[in-house]
Structure 1
């Protein structure tokens, strides 16, 4: 998997904004991506030193559409911890 396919989008939520004070940033990543790939992608994309990666698989919530159950896609969330002093400029000012 190429590095540009690993990171899908940043997750900007109330909870992830609070985590920024602890040098932690949240991203939606590819379901096939693993921790070393996520670490390399963040380090290359944002020129920071990653000290830790936590990954969670978020199941799609089931919904009913015209009497049938539909399950949206499952996605993966990664919380990346960077070295203290390093910042990801994309999240600044949020």
Structure 2
């Protein structure tokens, strides 16, 4: 897989944006991507040094609309922490 296939999109939420001050960035990643794949993809795409990668699977939530119901898709989330001497990711700097 290429780096663009591994990192699908950034996660923009209140909790995810609170980690930006500590150089912790949150991304939606490919479900089969490993921590090492994610680390290499972030370093390649953004030119930063990754210290740690935490991953978790987000379950789909039950949603109802009238008498119809279904689940939102499940997805994989990665929280990427950068080293202290690494530069920040410019995309997230514009969001603050």
TM over 0.5: yes
More deviation in 38-47 or 71-80?
71-80
Unaligned runs of 5+ in 2: none
The alpha-carbon deviation at position 8 of structure 1 amounts to 0.7
Task: Identify the residue that residue 53 of structure 1 maps to in structure 2.
Answer: 53
Output one character per residue of 1:36-93: Cα deviation in whole Å (capped at 9) or x when no partner: 1100100000000001000010001123467554222110110000111321111112
Q: Does 1:31 align with 2:31?
A: yes
Unaligned runs of 5+ in 1: none
- Provide the secondary structure at the position in 1 that maps to 2:84: coil
How far apart, in 1, do the equivalents of 2:35 and 2:70 lie? 30
Q: Where do 1:10-25 residues align within 5 Å?
A: 10-25=10-25
Q: Does 1:88 align with 2:94?
A: no
The alpha-carbon deviation at position 25 of structure 1 amounts to 0.4
Output one character per residue of 1:2-33: Cα deviation in whole Å (capped at 9) or x when no partner: 22100011112111111111110000111111
Once superposed, what is the RMSD of the aligned Cα atoms?
A: 1.5
Runs of 4+ in 1 over 6 A off after TM superposition: none
Q: How many residues align?
A: 94
How far apart, in 1, do the equivalents of 2:85 and 2:23 lie? 8
